[in-house]
Amino acid sequence: MLAALYDRKVESMIEVRWHGRGGQGAVTAAEILAHAAIREGKYAQAFPSFGPERRGAPVLAFNRFDDKPIWVRSDVYEPDVVAVLDPSLLAAVNVLGGLKPDGVVVINARETLSEIKAHLGFQGKTALINATDIALEVLKVPIVNTAMVGAFIKATGLVKLDSAVEAVIERFGGKTGERNAEAVKKAYEVTVLG
């Protein structure tokens, strides 16, 4: 979906804001995607926004992608894409704040696409994935970052699935890398777009 947006905006970068809770891996998800983009010859950034966070507290992470060097070093205030790792944040934080009118939101939730859109009052491009169930099934822990990477790729087309799988295997290594790569692929397959 966003691949067309990416092609149309050749002159400008794509910015992403990740909403998660401490311990869910929002920062790692952003880093994996940046490494995948760099593997493909793109320029990319991944960085967190930290305060006095603790496990379970809301956290932010960011990405930027471009075909030319990126010199901006600020947080992302008007993202092209928003990814939400924890559905409880939908009621606690304005996750859509600043999202561009033609932007995309990627959400981890158990609800249906129409329920999520109604809850948010958002009729734009939405990708829905039950990343928690995938993480519990494949990884045996509720860390949803790699499942969200798969959903993000399906929703945006900003990087290739193979590039992300390679970045995940490199990041985690061994059996952990293989299981996380499986979570990426499974999420990519079952993400619902609307």
CATH number of the domain residue 12 falls in: 3.40.920.10
Range(s) of the domain holding residue 184: 2-188
Cα–Cα dist 178/171, whole Å: 11
* Residue 165 lies inside a defined structural domain of this protein: yes
* Residue 100 lies inside a defined structural domain of this protein: yes
* Residue 69 lies inside a defined structural domain of this protein: yes
* Residue 194 lies inside a defined structural domain of this protein: no
Cα–Cα dist 59/52, whole Å: 10
* Residue 97 lies inside a defined structural domain of this protein: yes
Minimum mean pLDDT among 44-53, 77-86, 129-138: which range? Answer: 44-53
> Per the structure, how many domains does the chain have?
1
* Residue 33 lies inside a defined structural domain of this protein: yes
* Residue 72 lies inside a defined structural domain of this protein: yes
* Residue 193 lies inside a defined structural domain of this protein: no
Mean of the per-residue pLDDT values of the chain = 91
- Per-residue model confidence as pLDDT tens digits over 130-147: 999 999 999 999 999 999
Q: Taking the mean position of all CA atoms in its chain, how far away is CA 171?
A: 16
